[in-house]
Amino acid sequence: MTDQFTGKTALVTGGASGIGKAVAVGLAAEGANVAVVDLRQDAAQRVVDEIEAAGGTALALAADVSKAAEVKAAVAAVVGSYGGLHLALNNAGIGGPQGLLADYDDSDDFAAYQALMGVNLHSVYYGMRYEIPAIIAAGGGAIVNTSSILGLVGEPTAVPYTTAKHGVAGMTKAAGAAYASQGVRINSVHPGYIDTPLLSALPKAAFDALVSKHPIGRLGTAEEVANLVLFLLSEKASFMNGSQVTIDGGYTAV
């Protein structure tokens, strides 16, 4: 444990659960003020309570990150509370329609596709839109966007999710190229399947089938992804920008 983020303020979307929660807890443990932004205010507050019980500093903010105005308000609230913003993880995400593209229902599945794009792709755009000026104003910092192995390779039964996560990789490259010279490094992380509440709806057989796709023989943990995110947000990653960093137990190696 270090105090490498002391004096820094971080914003984590989807911070109430899974990967976002692990990153929020990790950043706070290393000294950052952390804004836990989530659709679920009560769950975000529970993470804040946990951080404060451990001696950290945090704030819960309710926002639907698929709505630009709510993201703008969340960033403004963080700057208002802590005086600036240095670090961000754009991470909130949902599953989405499963099945083969040409079999999708024209109403329900199209609506689910559009909702997925809002939460998994547009949210990252809105996040960076408002985070970048705040980070520049604070003297620089770093952003990580949560993509997926499905931002690198395709999953035949998850075309919408694959599309959104490839989009996250693209906007990470373009924005990283645009803002590194102003002191904002931007990278994306690409986890394999991680054992979080996102996968809780899966039947056991489907869960076991996912395990078999990872040469390491298990799914990842939220803490393992958090370790990578904390590294990318830290000064140790000072030459990393616009990168797509895989953390997948070998899923994409075969």
Contact flag: residue 16 with ligand NAD (CB under 6 A): yes
Q: Restricting to residues 18-57, which ones interact with ligand NAD according to CB under 6 A?
A: 18-20, 38-40, 43
Candidate segments 50-58, 92-100, 171-179, 230-238, binder of ligand NAD by CB under 6 A? 92-100
| Residue 104 falls in the annotated catalytic set | no
Return the residue of 33, 66, 162, 163 that touches ligand NAD, per CB under 6 A.
66
Return the residue of 9, 45, 148, 244 that touches ligand NAD, per CB under 6 A.
148
Return the residue of 193, 228, 230, 241 that touches ligand NAD, per CB under 6 A.
193
Contact flag: residue 131 with ligand NAD (CB under 6 A): no
Query: Which residue number, 19 or 35, has a Cβ lying nearer to ligand NAD?
Result: 19
On the 0-12 / 13-18 / 19+ scale of CB atoms within 10 A, 105 is: exposed
- Residues forming a β-bridge with 186: 143
Binding site for ligand NAD (CB under 6 A): 13-14, 16-20, 38-40, 43, 63-66, 91-94, 119-120, 146, 148, 191, 193-194, 196-199
Residues forming the active site: 161
